[in-house]
Structure 1
Amino acid sequence: MKPFCSPFLVGAALAVSLGSATAVLAETPNDQLIIGTSLAQVLSLDPQQGTEVKTQEILANTYDRLVFSDQTDGYKIKPQLAESWEVDDKGITFKLREATFTSGNPVTAKDVVFSIVRLLKLDQSAATNYKTAGYTADNIEGLVSAIDDKTFRIELTDKVIPEALLYRLAMGVSSVVDSVEVEKHVKNGDYGNEWLRTTAAGSGPYTLRRWTPNDIVLLEANKDYRGGAPAIRRIVMRHVPESQAARLMLERGDIDIANALTAADVRTFETKTGFVIDQVKTGGYYVLAMNAGREALAKPEVREAIAYGINYKGIADTILGSYGRWRNVPVPEDWAGAIANPDWSFQPEKAKKLLADAGYPNGLSLTLKTISQTPRVDMATAIQASLAEIGITVTIQQGNGADIVAAHRARDFDLLLPQTGSFMPTALGSLDNFASNPNNAKEANNAGNFVWRSAWDIPDLNALREQANRERDDAKRLDLVRQIQEKFIALKPAVLPMFERFEPIVVSGRVKGYSGHPWSLTRIEAVTKTDAP
């Protein structure tokens, strides 16, 4: 990684000039929230396209959705643009509250229809969770409707229950965009994507003032927001990928929040006064993706050998710390329906025998691709070392978010280190990334599907997942959830969950009301700051 060399813009200098650097070391103003983070994966600000973790935090504050999942109240679904809703056997009808976009245009049911249709018509990875629920580019226009300006309706398909649909509508990809403004910028049938990648057309508590890739994101309070202007006038997200630099900035008061620290640097704040560590449980995983389209990795014995060839405990203890815990089943261990972990611990001799039985008595060579980001770089090095002990020589290739994500979506890898999330706080929400692949054919080009990217064909597992998704009886659904996990383990997965993924966020004690969201949809509108002690 390149060394950190850009001085941070803080204090009065930030308010005066956003284009010039300063070396001033001062406490951040009470009306500004300064976040030190990694912006390496922020590739597009189009809410129906951008799915990366840091992108979601930007979208959460510049856009509203119909509903949201409240992380401070058991992840309950609560109103946002919707004032109320009614569920019947065939669909859900929403009544919208009075709200305006930052353009001044009113938010209407037409905008909601436009946004959901746009999501499916763009047909990118952002649409994946809707597609697994039976919504497609071909049928979506017949399943959503604006009954009047303030009444929106969406029909249920036979692949989704109402609760799961509401959680999908709470996702960042379901942000409601200003259809009037977006339609002004459509070029060559792109649904306004070129324009919306670098701007915002939302109704959220903040407006986008500036985004410079791998440098800065600047959000300004929306003075006309329906709930009143937020107390924090300005949010600055700065690209500080080097953990030590971010730690020193936080200690000096140059930033208020650091969310890309190494586990070791997070631990240094456990005994420091004036800081709070917010460990956000995402419901997702750090995963070792294996390309089953490669001859060796197509063999279950090789994939199982790799599963036995990783020192999970050592990685969890020395690298991950507050970033995660060892878990090889794609449902968090404390969620309803979770089964026990298999015995995939570090067993080199067993792994070597599996390789020999698969026709590789002398081992093999593979390349592992990873984003240059904490903690995945250190994880890659540790995996390289432990696989060497079973005879697998691993070459590591680091890259930025655009390069690695593109390679993943193009099936251009042997091994790769992605991460997942859970779009709802249930076992099926977590499993969706691991048990869904309706069409494994390369020509299907289903790059938004996590399993498809690994070319892992799982028709029976996919059918079981679809059955569970439409089952409305809770007990029967939990039984199906257990069956999915057991079958997943038995198939020796090409998408190997290694660690439940947490997001440790270190927050200055001056910041009040900040609560990290499991989907990174953290809203700042209710956050305040106090004077430095």
Structure 2
Amino acid sequence: MKKKFLALALSLTMVLGLAACGGGSDNASSDGSSAAAGDSGSSTVVVAMGSGFSTLDPGYVYEKYPPMIVNACYETLFKFYSNDGAPEPCLADTYEFSEDGLTLTVTLKDGITFASGNPMTSADVAFSINRCKNLQGNPAFIADTIDSIETPDEKTIVFHLNQQDSAILSKLTYSSLAVLDSAVVKENGGTDAEDAATTDTAQSYLDTASAGSGMYVMTSYTPDEEVVLEKNPNYWGEATNVDKYIIKIQPDSNTQMMTLSSGDIDVAMNMTDDTMEELQGADGIEIINGATKTVGFVMMNMNETYSGPMANPKVQQAVRKALDYTGIQTICGEGTLTPYDIIQVGFMGSKGERTADYTNLEEAKTLLAEAGYAEGFDVDLTVCDLDMEGVLLSDLAQKVKDDLAQIGINVNIVAQPWAAGYGDAYRDGTLGFTVMYWGTDYNDPNVQLEFLPGGVVGLRAGWTADMNQELADMYQETMAATDNDARIAVLEKIQDAMYEDGPFVMIAQAPAHIAYNTRLSGVGISDPYALDLTLINIQ
């Protein structure tokens, strides 16, 4: 077997200096202090986050915020230790790919124990991943390329893949593939059998307690109110000095701003430009504005039955040239970026940002005339009631309407709730012209390949593989590129091919706004985990 590193800079010394999976601070507090948030002597940290989830069972979690809890209470074979880094070993000690890229062999680190005190073995890894697959919940597709798992001994896991998958290490960082204490889960109704979707009954237990090897254990969960995490007394690694987290489900940004200002919370995760401005210069409060990998886009269906003139490639090019990307950034707020194309800034292989001077109304009008629409036309733009990191899609739709009016395209905005038909039409590929957003399912550029012709999102725009077979073939070419340099080369070709062509225009890489008490260190934006609680210390 030949070892191939997918990490851009795989450094075990770095891992040893980090909090979760065996690293971290050696000054962990053990006094059980639970003083109020904001008190420099408190070992309890209070975090306010948004809502929008219904379970904390790792086998089912798929929304934005549950990975924060899962990452604190469970661990995965690999982990992202920085927002823009590559996956690095966490529970894994070593890993190897076979020459054909269809077998991945992982060896566990020594001395890993669960919160129960049970030692972790390869059987726990196999159980956890097979359970996620067989539950057939929203995140099950993450493991689609895993055909089977062998455990020849207590420390070795052999993954047999059904196709080459250059993103497999990134996928193994995902919360739904966290390693569970199989003995505890089985005692509470869990199974990894093929019929788990109908026979597993462990969700009710895992919604109120954790069964992992992480730095923390979940001691209570009150839906729509709060989650409480306490230090795992049997944690096998070195912990930070935060003994307890109280995570309040408090989505309103104004409430978060006021409770942070008063010292009732330590971290506010759902700030807006307005509330961040209110906190500017406040004593003892630090603010962070930065781009996430959530991206907003304009979609123009390639099937003119649904989109009329928007299916014309020249019209699509005209739309690209007419959009005011700088104005869109203003709407989305400080920290917004405009990605070059479908690979967001921060991902391996990203070509960065679309140039600020790309907009050219005269060129857009020329392209529209070449398409046969010199006098413009009328078109419906359907938009739903969702928001992208706090920015209403309806606000982005209005901006698109105003921009296209400059070249004679008269947009009629049609509002349709997600639950009242929009969601089904979007997924079925019957929406003609819309503004939508895409949050990464797993933290790897390969997730963006779904925008290619024939991909899941590509087909939502009526873009079939035979419409651009050369571009469609780059999907498998990227999947097979287990060497980083080779994968980057293909990803760059894809972005260049889609920079001015195709039914999608990436209009904004949305920002996150976080504010926190300066008594903390290690607070930062995290695409994989929203906020990595295992990296936070009290100063």
**TM-score over 0.5 for the alignment?**
yes
SS in 2 for 1:295: helix
1:380 corresponds to 2:390: no
Alpha carbons 1:146, 1:152 under 8 Å: kept: yes
Verify: 1:363 aligned to 2:366, yes or no.
Answer: no
* Counterparts of 2:535 and 2:258, CA distance in 1: 27
In structure 1, the partner of 2:150 is: 145
Unaligned runs of at least 5 residues, structure 2: 1-32
Residue 257 of structure 1, CA deviation? 0.9
Shift of 1:370: 3.6
Does 2:272 match 1:262? yes
Say if 2:506 is the partner of 1:497.
Answer: yes
1:199-214 aligned within 5 A: 199=208, 200-214=210-224
The equivalent of 1:176 in structure 2 is 179
Q: Look up the match of 1:457.
A: 464
Q: Residue type matched to 1:299 in 2?
A: A
Q: How far apart are residue 364 of structure 1 and its match?
A: 2.5
User: CA deviation digits over 1:470-521, x for unaligned, max 9?
Assistant: 1345554433222212333454224x32212333322210112334333126
Matches within 5 A, 1:448-527: 449-458=456-465, 460=469, 461-472=471-482, 474-494=484-504, 496-520=505-529, 522-527=531-536
1:432 is aligned to 2:439: no
Match of residue 297 from structure 2: 287
Q: Does the aligned pair in 1 maintain the 2:114–2:213 contact within 8 Å?
A: yes
The match for 1:444 is: none
**What does residue 215 of structure 1 align with?**
225
Find 1:48's aligned residue among 29, 37, 59.
59
3-state DSSP of counterpart to 2:334: helix
Q: TM-score scaled by structure 2?
A: 0.75
1:261·1:374 contact (CA, 8 Å) conserved in 2?
Answer: no
1:25·1:252 contact (CA, 8 Å) conserved in 2? no
The question of 1:68 aligning with 2:68 is answered no
Mapped pair 1:252 → 2:255: no
Measured in 1, the distance between the counterparts of 2:498 and 2:282 equals: 43
In the alignment, residue 182 of structure 1 is paired with which amino acid?
V
Give the AA of the match of 1:483.
K
Deviation at 1:165, TM superposition (A): 2.4
Q: Name the stretch that deviates more: 75-84 or 350-359.
A: 350-359
Q: Partners of 1:283 and 1:52 in 2: how far apart?
A: 14
Contact 2:289 2:334 in 1 (8 A): no
Corresponding residue SS for 2:534: coil
Please report how far the alpha carbon of residue 278 of structure 1 lies from its aligned counterpart in structure 2 after TM superposition.
Answer: 3.5
The answer as to whether partners of 1:258 and 1:505 remain within 8 angstroms in 2 is yes
Q: 1:104 to 1:359 in 2, by over 3 A?
A: farther
Change in 2 beyond 3 A, CA 1:250/1:489: same
SS of corresponding position for 1:218:
strand
1:462, 1:409 → 2: CA distance?
19
Residue aligning to 1:242: 252
2:306 and 2:430 in contact (8 A); partners too = no
Q: Choose from 8, 30, 37 the match for 2:42.
A: 30
- Percent identity between the aligned chains? 20
Give the structure 2 partner of residue 321 of structure 1: 334
CA RMSD of aligned residues (A): 4.0
- Describe the SS at the equivalent of 1:421: coil
Matched, 1:93 2:106: yes
Name the stretch that deviates more: 347-356 or 274-283: 347-356
Q: Which residue of 2 aligns with 1:5?
A: none
In the aligned structure 1, how far is the partner of 2:426 from the partner of 2:68? 23
Contact kept, 8 Å, 2:231 with 2:244, in 1: the verdict is yes
CA contact (8 A) 2:289 2:514 kept: yes
Distance apart, 1:111 and its partner CA: 1.4
CA distance in 2, matches of 1:230, 1:473: 35
Partner of 2:169: 166
Partner letter of residue 184 of structure 2? E
Query: Which position in structure 2 is the counterpart of 1:272?
Result: 282
Q: How does 1:322-361 map to 2 (within 5 A)?
A: 322=335, 324-332=336-344, 336=349, 338=351, 341=354, 345=359, 347=361, 350=365, 353=368, 357=372
Once structures 1 and 2 are overlaid, which stretch shifts more, 237-246 or 406-415?
A: 406-415
Q: 1:405 to 1:528 in 2, by over 3 A?
A: farther
1:188/1:58 CA distance change after superposition, 3 Å: closer
The 5 A counterparts of 1:120-139 are 120-131=133-144, 134-135=145-146
CA distance in 1, matches of 2:360, 2:441: 27
Determine if contact 1:281/1:503 at 8 Å carries over to the other structure. Answer: yes
Cα distance in 2 for partners of 1:351, 1:228 equals 63
Q: CA deviation at 1:328?
A: 4.8
Q: 1:39 aligns with which of 30, 46, 51?
A: 51
SS of structure 1 residue aligned to 2:438: coil
Aligned partner of 1:31: which letter? S
> Conserved in 2, the CA contact under 8 Å of 1:44 and 1:50?
yes
Count of residue correspondences: 482
Report the residue type matching 1:366 in the other structure. Answer: L
Q: Within 2, Cα distance between the matches of 1:241 and 1:346?
A: 39
Contact 1:182 1:191 in 2 (8 A): no
Given that 1:306 and 1:351 are in contact with CA atoms closer than 8 Å, whether structure 2 keeps it comes out as no
Segments of 5+ residues of structure 1 without an aligned counterpart are 1-13, 17-23, 439-448
Per the alignment, residue 395 of structure 1 pairs with 414
C-alpha distance in structure 1 between counterparts of 2:139 and 2:369, whole Å: 38
1:117 aligns with 2:130: yes
TM-score, normalised to structure 1, is 0.76
In the TM superposition, what is the alpha-carbon distance from 1:35 to its structure 2 partner?
1.5
One-letter amino acid of the structure 1 residue matched with residue 329 of structure 2: A
2:126 and 2:150 in contact (8 A); partners too: yes
- Structure 1 window deviating more from structure 2 (283-292 vs 407-416): it is 407-416
Determine helix, strand or coil for the equivalent of 2:126. helix
Partner Cα distance (2:65, 2:258) in 1 = 21
CA distance in 1, matches of 2:62, 2:439: 11
Tell me if the contact between 2:294 and 2:439 (Cα under 8 Å) persists in the aligned partners. yes
CA distance, structure 1, for counterparts of residue 422 and residue 517 of structure 2: 33
State the Cα deviation string for residues 111-144 of structure 1 (Å, max 9, x = none). Answer: 111222233334444244443xx33xxxx22xx2
Give the conservation status (yes or no) of the 8 Å contact 1:290–1:415: yes
- Deviation string for 1:99-120 (max 9, x for gaps)? 3333444322111112222333
Does residue 420 in structure 1 map to residue 439 in structure 2?
yes
